[in-house]
């Protein structure tokens, strides 16, 4: 069962990667998720709170008032499905 779950997760990740362009060349994925930007899952499926020191440099970042959010589909998946 664990192997099937991992295969399903790999398929989902590869689908996300195939549908987007990443200015960081998918560094998070290629590093085995060891090099992740700092983000916090707060329970909304399509967004994370961005905790990077300079979030304005990321094309997936946007702010509302003084809070920066991440809308990278891959980073959201990693945070929500893999708890990283």
For the chain, the domains span: 2-82
Are 65 and 71 within 8 A, CB to CB?
no
pLDDT digits (tens, 9 = 90+) for 53-63: 999 889 999 99
pLDDT digits (tens, 9 = 90+) for 61-80: 999 999 999 999 999 999 99
Question: Can you tell me the distance from the alpha carbon of 55 to that of 7, in angstroms, rounded to the nearest whole number?
Answer: 32
Are 61 and 50 within 8 A, CB to CB?
yes
Are 38 and 50 within 8 A, CB to CB?
yes
Neighbours of 70 (CB within 10 A): 25
Which residue's structure tokens are 């809070």? 67
Question: Can you tell me the distance from the alpha carbon of 54 to that of 7, in angstroms, rounded to the nearest whole number?
Answer: 35
pLDDT at 83 over 50: yes
Task: Identify the pLDDT of residue 47.
Answer: 94
Task: Identify the pLDDT of residue 6.
Answer: 84
User: What is the pLDDT averaged over residues 6-32?
Assistant: 92
pTM of the entire structure?
Answer: 0.88
């Amino acid at each position: 069962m664990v192997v099937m779950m991992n295969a399903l997760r790999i398929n989902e990740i590869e689908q996300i990667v195939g549908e987007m362009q990443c200015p960081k060349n998918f560094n998070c994925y290629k590093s085995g998720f060891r090099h992740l930007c700092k983000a916090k899952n707060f329970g909304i499926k399509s967004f994370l709170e961005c905790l990077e020191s300079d979030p304005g440099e990321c094309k997936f970042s946007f702010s509302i008032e003084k809070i920066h959010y991440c809308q990278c589909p891959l980073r959201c998946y990693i945070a929500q499905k893999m708890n990283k």
